[in-house]
Amino acid sequence: MENGLANIQGRQLASKWAKTAALLSHGRIAPHIPPTRMFTKANLNNMLQVHGMVVIKPVRGAGGHGVIKVSKAAGVYKYTYYSRTSSFGTFDGMYKSLLANKKARPYLIQKGIQLATIGGRPIDYRVKYVKQPTGEWRITAIVGRLAKPGLFVTNICRGGTLLSGSEGIRRSFSSGAVVSKKREMRLLTKLSTAVLEGRFPGIGQLGFDYGIDRRGKIWIFEVNTRPQ
């Protein structure tokens, strides 16, 4: 077991990279994972060129800590760390400043998703999936998390606000979208869990972080094995 950790909550896996790589191996799930690379200077430059906006996050992170948004538009490079945004005229200038804010540990880079919003605040969703004593998995919660004003991360420990998943979808899209978006999140949760359980036997509780972009496409940001 990773880190020697095993308890009644099930096996825990800290590496976002290992879990993301497992999900990318499934053809039905892969299109819902934002393109992801290990953090290097060349990968950052290249992904900014391709996607315009990216998010970098610690491979073993939680609670939105150390998550940084980086963008390139009209020759201007910007990054946002917590609520502070800095702008630069060159990639090298931005990169140097970024390194000063990053810790010396592995990070990954992910295509930045333009989340749907409520009152200008991004919203994403947490689906909690728990293995029952019978061996059957069950969804125990689907909640929306609305970012604290001024932040792009929605984590509750960073001041995000909880609301029901249905209310979140209704207010960021429409009443008509609630059933289909929840159904798709449930399906992706079920498929992804089968893949993860095959790869990492012993997992018992999962917390899926889903984003829905402004066009309504569902994205998997990460899967937690120690969900709150």
Ligand X SMILES: Nc1ncnc2c1ncn2[C@@H]1O[C@H](COP(=O)(O)OP(=O)(O)O)[C@@H](O)[C@H]1O
Alpha helices (runs of H) in 74-177, residue ranges in sequence order: 91-101, 165-172
- Residue 124 interacts with Mg ion (CB under 5 A): yes or no: no
- Residue 220 interacts with ligand X (CB under 6 A): yes or no: no
The partner in contact with residue 67, picked from Mg ion, ligand X, none with C-beta cut-offs of 5 to 8 angstroms by kind, is: ligand X
Rg of the chain on CA atoms, in Å: 18
Strand partners, 116: none
Of 125, 109, 213, nearest to 162 (Cα)?
Answer: 125
Q: Are 20 and 71 in contact (CB under 8 A)?
A: no
Exactly one of 110, 189, 192, 205 binds ligand X (CB under 6 A); that residue is 110
Alpha carbon distances (Å) from 54 to 25, 51, 68, 75, 161: 22, 7, 8, 15, 24
Give least dist CB 57 to ligand X, A.
5
- Residue 113 interacts with ligand X (CB under 6 A): yes or no: yes
Site string for ligand X, 138-177 (x = CB under 6 A): ---------------xxx----------------------
State which H helix or E strand residue 152 sits in. none
* Strand 161-164 with 137-146, pairing: antiparallel
Site string for ligand X, 12-51 (x = CB under 6 A): ----------------------x-----------------
User: What are the residues binding ligand X (CB under 6 A)?
Assistant: 34, 55, 57, 61-65, 67, 110-113, 124, 153-155, 209, 211, 221-222
User: What are the residues binding Mg ion (CB under 5 A)?
Assistant: 209
